[in-house]
Amino acid sequence: MSLRLGLGVSWRAQLALSIERYPQLGFVELMVEHFPSHKPLPQAVLNLLERGVQAVPHGLSLSLGGAEPPARERLREMEALARRCHAPLVSEHLAFVRARELESGHLLPVERTPESLEIVLDNLRQAQQALSRPLYLENIATIVDWPQPTWEEAEFLRLLVERSGCGLLLDVSNLYANSRNHGGDPLEFLSRIPLERIGYVHVGGGVEHDGIYHDTHAAPLPSEVIDLLEELCALCDPPGVLLERDDDFPGEQEFLEEMAKIEGAVRRGQRRRVEATV
Amino acid sequence: MNREQLLERQYQLLSCLVAAGPDPEGMPARRLRIVSRGLACKRRREALSSWPGLARLAGQVEPWFDLYAATHQRPAGGSPLLDGYQFNLWLARRGVAVAIRTVCECRPYRQSVVPRPAWQRHLLSLRYGLKEWWRRQSPEDTLKISLPTPV
Contact (CB, 8 A) for A144 and B35: yes
For chain A, residues with pLDDT lower than 70 are 1
How far apart (Å, rounded) are the C-alpha atoms in residues B73 and B82?
11
- ipTM entry: 0.93
Residues 6+ apart with CB under 8 A from B53: B88, B98, B99, B101, B102
- Output the CA angle B111-A33-A15, nearest 5 degrees: 130
- Three-state SS for A103? strand
Least confident stretch, A261-265, B84-88, B97-101: B97-101
Q: How confident is the model at residue B59 (pLDDT cuts 50, 70, 90)?
A: confident
| Mutation for B interface: A101, A102, A107, A247, most B CBs within 10 A | A102
CA A201 to chain centre: 6
How far apart (Å, rounded) are the C-alpha atoms in residues A106 and A98?
9
Q: Is the pLDDT of residue B144 over 60?
A: no
Would you state the pLDDT for residue B94?
Answer: 86
Chain B partners of A146 at a C-beta cutoff of 8 Å?
A: 26-27
| Mutation for A interface: B5, B7, B10, B45, most A CBs within 10 A | B10
Would you state the pLDDT for residue A208?
Answer: 94
CA–CA distance from A118 to each of A67, A124, A160, A199 (Å)? 11, 10, 9, 23
Closest chain A residue to B36, measured at CA: A104
Would you state the pLDDT for residue B151?
Answer: 43
CA nearest neighbour of A9 among A44, A61, A33, A50: A44
Domain boundaries, chain B: 3-145
Q: How many residues does chain A have?
A: 278
Touching check for B4 and chain A: CB below 8 Å?
A: yes
Touching check for B26 and chain A: CB below 8 Å?
A: yes
Contact (CB, 8 A) for A150 and A110: no
How far apart (Å, rounded) are the C-alpha atoms in residues B74 and B39?
11
Question: Are A68 and B79 inside 8 Å of each other by CB?
Answer: no
Query: Count of CB contacts below 8 A, A vs B?
Result: 103
Question: Are B4 and A119 inside 8 Å of each other by CB?
Answer: no
How far apart (Å, rounded) are the C-alpha atoms in residues A139 and A119?
17
Q: Is the pLDDT of residue B136 over 90?
A: no
Would you state the pLDDT for residue A277?
Answer: 86
Q: How does A52-91 read in b/e, with b if 16+ C-beta sit within 10 Å?
A: ebbbbbbbbbbbbbbbbbbbeebbebbbbbbebbebbbbb
Would you state the pLDDT for residue B146?
Answer: 59
Would you state the pLDDT for residue A278?
Answer: 78
Would you state the pLDDT for residue B69?
Answer: 94
How far apart (Å, rounded) are the C-alpha atoms in residues B76 and B70?
16
Q: Is the pLDDT of residue B147 over 80?
A: no
Among the partner residues B7, B38, B112, nearest to A68 by beta-carbon distance: B7
- Three-state SS for A40? coil
Domain boundaries, chain A: 6-277
φ/ψ region of A165 (left if φ > 0, alpha if ψ in -120 to 50, else beta) reads: left
pTM of the model: 0.91
Question: Are A104 and B14 inside 8 Å of each other by CB?
Answer: yes
Strand partners, A198: A168
Question: Are A210 and B4 inside 8 Å of each other by CB?
Answer: no
Packed helices A172-182 and A223-235: angle between N→C axes, nearest 10 degrees: 120
Q: Is the pLDDT of residue B142 over 90?
A: no
Torsion sign across C-alpha atoms A247, A205, A46, A62: negative
Question: Are A104 and B27 inside 8 Å of each other by CB?
Answer: no
Would you state the pLDDT for residue B115?
Answer: 92
Closest chain B residue to A36, measured at CA: B112
Q: Is the pLDDT of residue B148 over 60?
A: no
Residues 6+ apart with CB under 8 A from B106: B85, B113, B114, B115, B116
Touching check for B34 and chain A: CB below 8 Å?
A: yes
Contact (CB, 8 A) for A71 and A39: no
Contact (CB, 8 A) for A106 and B39: yes
CATH assignment of A6-277, among 3.90.226.10, 3.30.420.10, 3.40.50.1820, 3.20.20.150: 3.20.20.150
The mean pLDDT value for B8-32 works out to 97
Chain A closest CA to B22's CA: distance in Å? 15
Question: Are B6 and A101 inside 8 Å of each other by CB?
Answer: no
Would you state the pLDDT for residue B149?
Answer: 57
